[in-house]
């Protein structure tokens, strides 16, 4: 069995180094700092790639070792972490007026499955031209990779998006499609349909990266954070896939939404002989959020501070700098989310019903970046009767994107929402969009559609100007027609303007819009720094109330308050539904979900053995919309979909500690794990 390997780029030198790590799940996690290192040379003539390697079957070249990312803001000073991160599960802080040191492992998150309602699948015909019907999150990713794999121009391949049935990252890239296309090419023009079974979804699809996170944090006696060192190790399985990007994304958010002047982050994606890790809702951020938020409560406990006060002292404000060096200039609503979540949780916990049950409350905050830089393009088609059809390759995953995007266009043109329809993605007709992922759709595609609608409005004014005998610059589009600025009454409806220019049969107008975030820059490969690493940042705070049965270890979540800064809520009902759904998914990840792996084989590959929350497990959920508009967003909006998953887990674990006094540092928070921690704590008190 060959040893697994990881490559890291050092923040102190320009050389690449390779490190051997564990090859079996039983030896996971590896210790990058203790691993024996040896020089690693970049392959030359073999065609290996050193950037963005993925293990998809559509790739014909071998991948280089998975990459890691190092981020450095400044060298550690007095009170900052030492050169070697601590491995223990607890924090120790000296509360005094000077600088103390808090050190401790943040903990681990296990491998988990997306368990989408509809497994991945596609239908293919190959009769002179390859046509793929797929439940994909990114039709243009499929188009590009399949055309490249087949050696065909993209004009010879067509991808039609179907109802996705839940994505969560698993349907961003071709998985089954190369096999389906190969079969179709030998089927004499007959269509071929290929769909994963539920068991294959567990064993063959990408999973959420298990991760082991170690944090060491320097803290003053008054609770001011002064330094943080993080080592994150993501188990990416046998292929790189998106592992390098997941480890990078986690690193960028790894310090939490806090002002910390001295930061060092090493984030590794390591190969192991285990199931493939890939894109999953949150893209590395939930793993880091679990670690830094449980440690924040450990720090507060050791210093004798209120966890709320500790966070409020250190949370971001406008003008603060992230660990990537970006200055936060707008839409920094993290403190507002915490205050509003606490206000909604002001009522005291009700007393438990029996003596064996204890209750507690916990909090957690988080922030996340979006997929940057990426581009979206769109077309707004105005029909002869004044109705509107939108052409976009954004995908409806169940998140309500089509409603929000239609609302943006309806608002710009001043027409009822009922007169706007949205086309399904089809690479023959709908223009390019990078993907429906990274909480980017409303911000990126919303801006593209807003620009396309503005283009339609400009054309209408130009057509109406000679008809109304009014200069173009005095006309405006509103309420489904064209009128003179400052005048209450409209002069012409859309249909009248089109007929007036093109005759009784009319015509259609098409507006085009493209959006790429301004000033977005990729990070420096040496330092991880960028003046604008993300088009926007998302913020959230969750408060969880739980009860714990001290005789069985069973945890029951009573209530979760989830406050999210969304910039501006285009569709408030949709935003609340997104929050509620994400909280339920986070609840499952916290209390139930874990893919069990033995010798690289999944041992619970079914919904009978892999436990998901049911409606009986869902607590009261209080969604709170916080609006701190973003200047570049459509009407101030920004993303939401991914952060809703991240903060629930540490909030629940912190509530368990508040109730019982035992700290859980690994997920899921199962009755067995809590029971053992309670018994270990009782034995410690007896001694």
Report the alpha-carbon distance of residue 523 to residue 323 in Å, rounded.
11
> CA separation (Å) from 315 to 513, 556, 561?
37, 29, 19
322-372+535-686 maps to which CATH number? 3.30.365.10
Residue 639 has pLDDT above 70, yes or no: yes
The tokens 């320097």 sit on which residue? 218
Residue 576 has pLDDT above 50, yes or no: yes
Report the alpha-carbon distance of residue 497 to residue 403 in Å, rounded.
27
Q: Which CATH architecture has domain 121-195?
A: 2-Layer Sandwich (3.30)
Do the beta carbons of residue 218 and residue 262 sit within 8 Å? yes
Bridge partners of residue 9, in order along the sequence: 16
Report the alpha-carbon distance of residue 650 to residue 665 in Å, rounded.
9
Q: Name the nearest CA neighbour of 252 among 69, 399, 383.
A: 69
Bridge partners of residue 422, in order along the sequence: 390
Residue 3 has pLDDT above 70, yes or no: no
C-alpha angle 483-485-488 in degrees, rounded to nearest 5: 65
C-alpha distance across the termini of the chain, in Å:
46
Report the alpha-carbon distance of residue 396 to residue 171 in Å, rounded.
13
- Tell me the whole-structure pTM to 2 decimals: 0.85
Do the beta carbons of residue 494 and residue 419 sit within 8 Å? no
Rounded to 10 degrees, the C-alpha dihedral 442/443/444/445 comes to 30
Do the beta carbons of residue 424 and residue 161 sit within 8 Å? yes
Report the alpha-carbon distance of residue 259 to residue 317 in Å, rounded.
8
Rounded to 10 degrees, the C-alpha dihedral 328/330/336/341 comes to -80
With 0-12 / 13-18 / 19 or more C-beta atoms within 10 angstroms meaning exposed / middle / buried, residue 66 is: buried
Q: Out of 200-204, 386-390, 429-433, which region has the weakest mean confidence (pLDDT)?
A: 200-204
Sorted by sequence, the CB contacts under 8 Å of residue 356 that are 6+ apart come out as 549, 550, 551
Identify the H or E element spanning 499: helix 494-502
Q: Out of 30-34, 74-78, 610-614, which region has the weakest mean confidence (pLDDT)?
A: 74-78
Q: Name the nearest CA neighbour of 591 among 624, 546, 621.
A: 546
528-543 pLDDT per residue, tens = 899 999 999 999 999 9
Do the beta carbons of residue 591 and residue 547 sit within 8 Å? no
Catalytic residue among 396, 576, 642, 686: 642
Residue 323 has pLDDT above 50, yes or no: yes
Sorted by sequence, the CB contacts under 8 Å of residue 405 that are 6+ apart come out as 390, 392, 394, 422, 441, 442, 445, 446, 449
Phi, psi of 561 (to 5 degrees): -100, 125
Residue 642 among the catalytic residues: yes
Which has more pLDDT, 331 or 10? 331
Q: Looking at the chain, how many residues does it have?
A: 687
Q: Do domains 322-372+535-686 and 376-515 have the same CATH topology?
A: yes
pLDDT band at 490 (very low <50, low <70, confident <90, very high): confident
Do the beta carbons of residue 553 and residue 669 sit within 8 Å? no
Asked if the 376-515 domain carries CATH number 3.20.20.110, the reply is: no
Q: Which two tokens stand for residue 637?
A: 């909006």
pLDDT over 90 percentage in the chain? 71
Report the alpha-carbon distance of residue 606 to residue 199 in Å, rounded.
6
pLDDT value, residue 100: 55
pLDDT value, residue 79: 32
pLDDT value, residue 26: 33
pLDDT band at 683 (very low <50, low <70, confident <90, very high): low
pLDDT band at 487 (very low <50, low <70, confident <90, very high): confident
Bridge partners of residue 225, in order along the sequence: 219
> CA separation (Å) from 139 to 403, 432, 449, 458?
20, 9, 18, 30
Q: Which two tokens stand for residue 353?
A: 């019903």
The tokens 């050389």 sit on which residue? 15
Domain boundaries, the chain: 121-195, 322-372+535-686, 376-515
3-state secondary structure of 119: coil
With 0-12 / 13-18 / 19 or more C-beta atoms within 10 angstroms meaning exposed / middle / buried, residue 687 is: exposed
Q: Which two tokens stand for residue 335?
A: 């403190």
Sorted by sequence, the CB contacts under 8 Å of residue 623 that are 6+ apart come out as 562, 564, 575, 576, 579, 580, 583
pLDDT value, residue 37: 36
Phi, psi of 456 (to 5 degrees): -60, -45
């Amino acid at each position: 069995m060959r040893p697994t390997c990881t490559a890291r780029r050092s923040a102190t030198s320009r050389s690449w180094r390779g490190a051997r790590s564990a090859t079996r799940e039983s030896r996971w996690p590896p210790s990058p700092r203790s691993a024996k290192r040896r020089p690693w040379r970049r392959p030359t003539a073999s065609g290996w790639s050193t950037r963005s390697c993925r293990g998809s079957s559509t790739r014909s070249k071998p991948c280089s070792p998975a990459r890691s990312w190092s981020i450095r803001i400044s060298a550690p000073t007095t009170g900052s972490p030492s050169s070697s991160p601590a491995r223990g599960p607890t924090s120790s802080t000296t509360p005094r007026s000077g600088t103390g040191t808090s050190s401790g492992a943040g903990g681990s998150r296990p491998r988990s499955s997306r368990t989408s309602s509809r497994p991945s699948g596609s239908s293919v015909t190959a009769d002179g031209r390859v046509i793929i019907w797929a439940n994909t999150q990114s039709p243009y990713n499929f188009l590009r990779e399949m055309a490249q794999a087949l050696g065909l121009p993209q004009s010879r391949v067509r991808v039609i998006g179907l109802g996705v049935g839940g994505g969560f990252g698993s349907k961003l890239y071709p998985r089954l499609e190369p096999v389906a296309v190969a079969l179709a090419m030998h089927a004499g023009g007959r269509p071929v349909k290929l769909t994963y079974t539920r068991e294959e979804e567990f064993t063959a699809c990408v999973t959420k990266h298990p991760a082991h996170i170690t944090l060491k944090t320097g803290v003053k006696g008054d609770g001011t954070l002064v330094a943080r060192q993080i080592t994150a190790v993501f188990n990416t399985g046998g292929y790189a896939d998106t592992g390098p990007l997941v480890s990078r994304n986690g690193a960028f958010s790894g310090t939490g939404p806090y002002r910390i002047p001295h930061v060092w982050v090493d984030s590794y994606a390591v190969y192991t002989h285990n199931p493939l890790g890939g894109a999953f809702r949150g893209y590395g951020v939930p793993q880091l959020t679990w670690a830094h938020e449980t440690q924040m409560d450990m720090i507060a406990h050791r210093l004798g501070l209120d966890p709320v006060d500790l966070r409020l002292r250190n949370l971001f404000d406008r003008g603060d700098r992230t660990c990537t060096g970006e200055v936060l200039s707008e839409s920094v609503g993290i403190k507002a989310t915490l205050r509003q979540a606490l206000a909604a949780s002001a009522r005291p916990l009700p007393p438990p019903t029996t003596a064996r049950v204890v209750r507690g409350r916990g909090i957690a905050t988080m922030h996340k970046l979006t997929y940057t830089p990426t581009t979206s393009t769109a077309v707004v088609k105005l029909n002869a009767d004044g109705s509107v059809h939108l052409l976009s390759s954004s995908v409806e995953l169940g998140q309500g994107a089509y409603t929000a995007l239609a609302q943006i266009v309806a608002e710009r043109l001043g027409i009822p929402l009922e007169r706007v329809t949205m086309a399904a993605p089809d690479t023959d007709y709908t223009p390019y969009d990078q993907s429906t992922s990274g909480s980017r759709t409303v911000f990126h595609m919303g801006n593209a559609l807003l620009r396309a609608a503005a283009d339609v409005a400009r054309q209408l004014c130009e057509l109406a100007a000679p008809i109304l005998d009014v200069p173009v610059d005095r006309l405006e589009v509103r309420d489904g027609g064209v009128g003179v600025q400052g005048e209450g009454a409209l002069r012409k409806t859309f249909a009248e303007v089109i007929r007036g220019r093109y005759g009784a049969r009319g015509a259609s107008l098409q507006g085009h819009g493209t959006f790429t975030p301004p000033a977005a820059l990729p990070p420096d490969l040496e330092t991880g720094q960028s003046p604008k690493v993300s088009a926007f940042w998302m913020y959230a705070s969750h408060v969880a109330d739980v009860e714990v049965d001290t005789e069985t270890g069973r945890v029951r979540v009573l209530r979760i308050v989830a406050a999210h800064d969304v910039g501006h809520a285009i569709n408030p009902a949709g935003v609340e539904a997104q929050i509620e759904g994400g909280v339920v998914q986070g609840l499952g990840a916290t209390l139930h979900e874990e893919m069990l792996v033995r010798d690289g084989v999944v041992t619970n590959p079914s919904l009978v053995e892999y436990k998901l929350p049911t409606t009986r497990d869902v607590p009261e959920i209080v969604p709170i919309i916080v609006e701190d508009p973003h200047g570049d967003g459509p009407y101030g909006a920004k993303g939401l979909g991914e952060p809703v998953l991240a903060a629930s887990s540490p909030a629940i674990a912190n509530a368990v500690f508040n109730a019982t006094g035992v700290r859980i540092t690994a997920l899921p928070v199962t009755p067995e794990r809590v029971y053992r921690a309670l018994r270990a704590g009782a034995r410690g008190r007896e001694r």
